[in-house]
Amino acid sequence: MPFTKMHGTGNDFIVIDEFQKILVPERDKPKFVARISQRHFGIGSDGVIFIQKSDKYDAKFSFYNPDGTRAEMCGNGMRCFAKYLYKKGLIRKEKIQVETTAGLVVPEIFLEEGRVTKVRVDMGMPRVEFIAKEVEIDGYPYKITSVNMGNPHAILFFDNIDEVDVLGMGKKVRHHKLFPRGTNVHFVQKIGENEFKIRTYERGVEGETLACGTGICASAVATVVNNYANEKKPLTFHAKGGDLIIELEIVNKNINKNIKIERVFMTGPAEEVFTGEISVEL
């Protein structure tokens, strides 16, 4: 079975092209994904992307976490998905309508001399669940903001995220009773005007990853609703795997300074690492 290894800001994915033919039966996908995502006994990945045809849009994005669970959406994975579609000639449009479990997502391809240099993704409307809610963890109060980008995210702000125990703290927030289905957890530090550092504990990976696209989008929303950023200007996020630029479309800011964010746009790279073939007995 052919596969392509790709990454977006260090978030690495195995891409399986099922656009013309289903290669892995749906019932077998969780077991297949868990096996090939192992870094010592498989190919290794932060998730597996199945590229499929859609009855409604240009293509369907089917994403699995490395533990074999389904994920509603993955921002870094979407950029890789869009680049693959364009580069392989499956879709020759610069704006692609993609079906996901979270709804319609529209990535936009940017070209230089025929090469895809970056991808801008319309991530849709965020849903702010709560802002700066005080939560006790290990006897200490922390303020958590929860934003849903089609998948759940908890955002915490710190003066220095290099000192945060991402694995320990991330696991406790991820499994907190506030999030019955679990959540991705992000630790954010402001380092300049509309400039932030971020570290991430990903649900499904159950550990720290180099970046999380939907998480950075959710964190951008959190910076604005917590008055840490200017919503009228682009925001730059520095993750361990690279940088992403986030833009927000604001439709309402009333006299009480309540902000309604209509859309979130994420721009960043997507890179092909290598291709190969794998044989897996299920």
From the candidates 78, 212, 221, 266, which is the catalytic residue? 212
Whether the per-residue pLDDT at 127 is higher than 60: the answer is yes
Q: Poorest-confidence range of 156-165, 176-185, 249-258?
A: 249-258
Q: Poorest-confidence range of 163-177, 208-222, 255-269?
A: 255-269
259-268 per-position pLDDT tens digit? 789 999 999 9
236-276 per-position pLDDT tens digit? 999 999 999 999 998 865 544 567 899 999 999 999 999 99
User: Looking at domain 127-267, what is its CATH homologous superfamily?
Assistant: Diaminopimelate Epimerase; Chain A, domain 1 (3.10.310.10)
Q: Which helix (H) or strand (E) holds 77?
A: helix 75-87
pLDDT at 256: 45
Question: How far, CA to CA in Å, does 132 sit from each of 21, 116, 123, 165?
Answer: 47, 39, 23, 20
Beta partners for 122?
106, 265
Say yes or no: do domains 2-123+270-277 and 127-267 share a fold. Answer: yes
- Residue 74 annotated to the active site: yes
Sign of torsion, CA 25 93 272 151?
Answer: negative
* Stretch 207-220: mean pLDDT: 96
* Stretch 78-85: mean pLDDT: 98
Which residue shows structure tokens 């990903």? Answer: 202
> What is 162-214 written as a DSSP string?
GGS-HHHHHHHHHT-TT-TT--EEEEEEEEETTEEEEEEEETTTTEEES--HH
What is the C-alpha end-to-end distance of the chain, expressed in Å? 13
Whether the per-residue pLDDT at 201 is higher than 50: the answer is yes
Beta partners for 253?
259
Confidence of residue 27 (pLDDT cuts 50, 70, 90): very high
Whether the per-residue pLDDT at 121 is higher than 70: the answer is yes
Summary mean pLDDT of the chain: 94
How do the domains of the chain map onto residue ranges?
Answer: 2-123+270-277, 127-267
pLDDT at 255: 43
From the candidates 16, 48, 74, 144, which is the catalytic residue? 74
Instruction: Please give the Cα distance from 202 to 184 (Å, whole number).
Output: 5
- Residue 80 annotated to the active site: no
Sign of torsion, CA 8 12 17 22?
Answer: negative
CATH class of 2-123+270-277: alpha beta
pLDDT at 260: 84
28-79 per-position pLDDT tens digit? 999 999 999 999 999 999 999 999 999 999 999 999 999 999 998 899 999 9
